[in-house]
Amino acid sequence: MKRRAVKNSRRLIRANLALAKKLWPGQICKSHLKALENLTLSYGISLGSGDLQLLENRWYVTHSGLLSLAERKGCSGIRVEPIRSFCDPLSNRWVFRAIVFKKSGLKGFAGFGDADPSNVSPIVRGAEMRVAETRAVNRALRKAYGIGICSVEELGYVSSPTERVHGKGIDSSHSNGNGSATGQLRLRDKLCLLIRKYELDPTLVKRYAADFCGTEALRDASRDLVETFISTLAEEAAKDRAALVCKLMRYNPLAEVKL
């Protein structure tokens, strides 16, 4: 049994490393691969199942990845409840506490999560209660199983990209006739969610988008073209993600060299 477990672990490591190189060819480096190998050994992480995301050169665990880990470890239950004294439904502010029980009869591990319109993406406005619940569960699970890396759902800048408009994000002065920067942010949110959901390489997606829209950069494209591209990307990803990844690889200048 032990030999089989070791063999399965090695197989998963090889699969994760190979997939990471395909998903993030322009970002992945030796330190990322080493960290991925350690995470795979410690927690049975699977990139193919969407357990991890590489964002701005750091690994982040996902909600689904944490739930899968809890199931593999035999988690006996999760109790979640709102902290009513800190909740304000009228302003869509919610605070939850989650308690994870690793084994029946043992003391649980608590985690807290909050959400309000200021720290969630515009695309999920109105769902602050569910976001807060997810964040609480994530923190409790990370405590219970000793996960030292943050979860994607806990990231403030991912949930609230408006804070990055004047940084490396979208230039708010570049409206392209679309009316306002708010409209651009909503499109950017949709695109970011698709990239995270299907684990696509952001750089290759941008190159594909520029080619699709017939512009040198995505920000130069009209709103209608960008909306069409996002719809097309969503359809292609949902229909055949593997085929989409192969298409994106054509926009990787290193791919031609390797051939």
Q: 186 pLDDT band (50/70/90 cuts)? A: low
Sheet holding 94-101, edge to edge: 77-82, 94-101, 109-115
Q: How far apart are the first and last CA of the chain?
A: 41
Euclidean distance between CA atoms 250 and 242, whole angstroms = 13
Percentage of the chain surpassing pLDDT 70?
Answer: 85
pTM of the entire predicted model: 0.61
pLDDT in tens, 34-75: 999 999 999 999 999 999 999 878 999 999 999 999 999 999
- Strand segments, DSSP code E, in 9-127 are 52-55, 58-61, 77-82, 94-101, 109-115
Whether 2 shows a pLDDT value over 90: the answer reads: no
Q: Report pLDDT for 161.
A: 38
Euclidean distance between CA atoms 138 and 133, whole angstroms = 9
Q: Report pLDDT for 258.
A: 38
Whether 124 shows a pLDDT value over 80: the answer reads: no
Mean pLDDT over the full length of the chain: 82
More confident residue, 102 or 199: 102
Q: 253 pLDDT band (50/70/90 cuts)? A: low
Q: Report pLDDT for 178.
A: 39
Whether 119 shows a pLDDT value over 70: the answer reads: yes
Judged by average pLDDT, the poorest of 78-82, 156-160, 173-177 is 173-177
- Strand segments, DSSP code E, in the chain are 52-55, 58-61, 77-82, 94-101, 109-115
Percentage of the chain surpassing pLDDT 90?
Answer: 42
Q: Report pLDDT for 122.
A: 72
pLDDT in tens, 28-38: 899 999 999 99
Averaged pLDDT, 211-225: 82
pLDDT in tens, 10-20: 899 999 999 99
